[in-house]
Amino acid sequence: MDHRLIGADNAGLPGAELAALRESLVEQRDFRLAQLAQLAGPGEAAPSGAASRREVQVALRASARMVLADVEAAIERMDNGSYGVCRRCGHAIALPRLVIVPQARYCAPCHRTREVGR
């Protein structure tokens, strides 16, 4: 896989920080893929707990797929140069926020606004 940073300036993030964020995203992607593979395996629950275990596995798979999609979208934004740019206001997402949530699509103020609107 080509890990060159292409396109726009990825919100002006320095190369070292961008590389570290990419590494974090790749690790998250690998973890979620492994998690999904493990959850796809046969369950070992006793018959009395099989239904509830299946429900938990369905919820875990859905959550892992959602996070995986967010992580892959963030890697794609890095590749096209739009990583670190808020999808709502167009301003740069602060580096500390990206360190905590590397797949963030919104800056903190826009994220709060979206959460209040739900």
Domains of the chain are: 15-40+51-116 (1.20.120.910)
Among 34, 53, 35, residue whose Cα is nearest residue 44 = 53
Q: Is the pLDDT of residue 85 over 70?
A: yes
In this structure, of 13-17, 23-27, 42-46, 83-87, the range with the lowest mean pLDDT score is 42-46
What pTM value is reported for the model?
A: 0.80
Angle, helix 50-80 to helix 15-40, in steps of 10 degrees: 150
For residue 4, the model assigns a pLDDT of: 39
Q: How confident is the model at residue 47 (pLDDT cuts 50, 70, 90)?
A: low
For residue 3, the model assigns a pLDDT of: 37
